Amino acid sequence: MGHKLALLPFINLNCKLMMRTKILTGILIFLSYLSFAQPGGRPNEIKKLIKVETERTALIFAVGADQKLYQLYLGEKLASDGDYKLLNLLNEAYIPAGTDNLFEPAIRMVHNDGNPSLELLFADTSTATEGDVTTTAIILKDPKYPVEVKLVYAAFSKENIIKTWTEIKHQEKNPVILSNYASAMLHLNADKYWLTQFHGDWAKEMRMEESQLTAGIKTIDSKLGTRANMYATPVFFLSKNHQSTETSGEVIAGTLGWTGSFQMLFELDNSNSLRMISGINPFASEYHLKSNEPFITPEFIFTYSASGKGEVSRNFHKWARNYGVLDGHGNRLTLLNNWEATYFDFDENKLTELFDGAKELGVDLFLLDDGWFGNKYPRSSDRSGLGDWQETKTKLPHGIGYLVEQAEAKGIKFGIWIEPEMVNPKSELYEKHPDWILKLPNRDEHYYRNQLVLDLTNPQVQDFVFKLVDDMLTKNPRIGFIKWDCNRMMTNIYSPYLKENQSHVQIEYVRSFYRVMERIRAKYPKLPIMLCSGGGGRTDYGALKYFTEFWPSDNTDAVERIFIQWGYSYFFPTITSCNHITTMGKQSLKFRTDVAMMGKMGYDIRVNEMTKEELEFSKAAVQNYNRLKELIWNGDMYRIISPYDEERAVIMYVNEDKSKSVLFSYALHPRAMNQFSSVRLQGLDASKKYRIDEINKMSGGRGPGMFGGGFQSGKIYSGDYLMKVGLSLPNNSELTSAVIELTEVK
């Protein structure tokens, strides 16, 4: 940058010779640009190329003549390495603050002597391959201070996913201060950039919005401490040049594996170059890093596609099932939950009656939700009892063990809700351990849902949480499922345990949560545990390493759910999304069932209030689901028509050998006599023939062969026809739906 400014007085001296000056100016500006853009003044000298590649994507780094590490390329893999060398060294890969950087840095550090700068030069690189995964580590060092920054990139070849994180270490005498510590910095160069973000609130999770980035900074972040999500989800799409569709356009999709405050920052600079920085939110989180203690950032997981959002979602889904989610290919239990059916108003008899409903439906498990604990302060509402994990004697005189037995006697498993990180002020736990709570000295307590957050950074609190789970499972080893809730964010943040390091609280809290989960998983490796956070507050791959599924939202109105589930489907596989059929909303039971079926189906309903016809329909739906769930969970997902584009939504799943598919079609609020075009299917084998069957029909509804104009149930079509001509689906009447099964016929 210095070179460029130094040229200006020289140019002014030549002002009399205007023409010559103009030419000279042009040449000089060009030369000065080269000397700025190409370090060391040696145009594009690449001393070393470092490749991070999947089957289709390449992230290429180069070491320049100045020994700095540059990001040379991010996009579709090029056939020849020589071609990468034709590119310019424009963007330093992981930009430190304090020297010549003029935009947002990836890292900022203040050394022991007060020097607030860092210079990072390439020192070493290594790669290791294990099966499908190649991990590249690049070590950068400061030439003047004993600081090392390791950038790690794990490339998942078949899944086309890159997972990256950073490890920061030093050997200075005293702690250094880290005020920025990105998991990833990525650079893009395009004419235009389109950012898709997902935001909302409680019961309005995952609202999708796309906008064109303008010069300056756009930040997606949260400052919630105990959870990443609520107002903003740690996920994004960035489309280059044009908005991408499901099947076209260059798009990068990224997400951060961190169950706490996060930041994703997009800065468009003076040369229209974009830097994307993702990581823990550095807000109020200055970190005092001790000598030789590595600071390991959370993982940023991303994928790239030159053919639109559908492919990036499928990449995420495959990666998540193979690597990102606990037991990603395992079984999941269909369940009946009592939350919306009873709220806090239940006792032993009412519960055992509900077991009958679960059995009748044919689900695998009954899940007892909030309200089963507390004696001095019984949990009869959300005002009391939280933290006192003993069965309420008046409600459950024979305890949990009896409920497990009763459920099993009826042929179903039993699962239970806990919210172990929280406490009501009206509880014995609060009375006994006031020092176990995150709260500011000299300030009033601040409640959200009448509760406070426990100070999980305190090892005694970690033991308490672990013990609660461990004791319960030791006493009742046949508990088949846990729902782990977290109903509030942090406010008035102060840890009595961490004392002087208050800016560490948010980071240490999440690390402590993972520490507890490590202990639980070491002892109970496969027990299904649902991640829940007052609706969809914890939906991230940091937590999903320990959890088998998540609760997307407390909003179970089926129309709202189409949008919410649609949003999550971009980044998370269906096997993780718990979709329950409830009585919220005005839609028919069939509509609600069809919506829940596009993920991990469950119920939260009073079965004894169903009509005979509804019960018969539901029993058949559970059977259909059991037959199709393998395909829904593990098949490739194709979002065919988005509810954001039309008054309908169509989504389908295709199994690996393309012999089986299921399609869900939902009509929202189409205008009278609306004529929808045929729906062209995707992902099938053009050379195969498929029989089409409508399932989940409700008697009294449409009979066989009655839907739409273009085809009949039971008819056979070629994959070619279905993908080129398509089906005319029955989506003209408001709030109707259809589930269509496609089976290969030989």
Residues lying near ligand DGJ in the complex (CB under 6 A) are found at 339, 369-370, 417, 485, 487, 532, 534-535, 551, 554
Q: Which of 327, 341, 476, 345 is closest to 416 using CA atoms?
A: 476
In the block, residue with structure tokens 């910095």: 185
Nearer to ligand DGJ, 182 or 336 (CB): 336
Alpha carbon distance 274, 193 (integer Å) = 8
Alpha carbon distance 602, 614 (integer Å) = 15
Nearer to ligand DGJ, 337 or 696 (CB): 337
In contact, 290 and 178? CB cutoff 8 Å: no
Min dist CB 694 to ligand DGJ, Å, is 32
Min dist CB 157 to ligand DGJ, Å, is 37
Nearer to ligand DGJ, 385 or 535 (CB): 535
Min dist CB 345 to ligand DGJ, Å, is 13
Min dist CB 555 to ligand DGJ, Å, is 10
3-state secondary structure of 587: coil
Alpha carbon distance 561, 582 (integer Å) = 11
In contact, 212 and 193? CB cutoff 8 Å: yes
String of DSSP letters for 251-287 = EEEEEEE-SS-EEEEEEE-TTSEEEEEEEE--TT--E
Question: Rounded to 5 degrees, what angle do the CA atoms 565, 568, 573 make?
Answer: 100
Q: Which of 91, 94, 90 is closest to 147 using CA atoms?
A: 94
Alpha carbon distance 11, 353 (integer Å) = 89
Catalytically active residues are 485, 554
- Inter-helix orientation angle 589-596/612-634, to 10°: 20
Alpha carbon distance 737, 691 (integer Å) = 19
Min dist CB 371 to ligand DGJ, Å, is 8
Nearer to ligand DGJ, 103 or 447 (CB): 447
The CB-side HSE value for 676 (13 A sphere, CA atoms) comes to 30
Q: Report the residue closest to ligand DGJ, judged by CB.
A: 370
Determine phi and psi for 689, rounding to 5 degrees: -110, 140
In contact, 668 and 648? CB cutoff 8 Å: yes
Determine phi and psi for 153, rounding to 5 degrees: -130, 115
Alpha carbon distance 718, 685 (integer Å) = 8
Distances (CA, A) of 63 to 43, 49, 95, 107, 537: 13, 7, 14, 19, 41
Min dist CB 319 to ligand DGJ, Å, is 27
Nearer to ligand DGJ, 200 or 719 (CB): 200
Chain centroid to CA 513: how far? 17
Min dist CB 613 to ligand DGJ, Å, is 28
Min dist CB 337 to ligand DGJ, Å, is 7
Nearer to ligand DGJ, 364 or 485 (CB): 485
Nearer to ligand DGJ, 371 or 670 (CB): 371
In the block, residue with structure tokens 């064109």: 212
Min dist CB 604 to ligand DGJ, Å, is 8
Q: What is the DSSP letter of 44?
A: T
Min dist CB 482 to ligand DGJ, Å, is 12
Alpha carbon distance 32, 217 (integer Å) = 27
- Inter-helix orientation angle 348-361/399-409, to 10°: 30
Chain centroid to CA 25: how far? 50
The helices-and-strands tally (H runs, E runs) of the chain is 14, 37
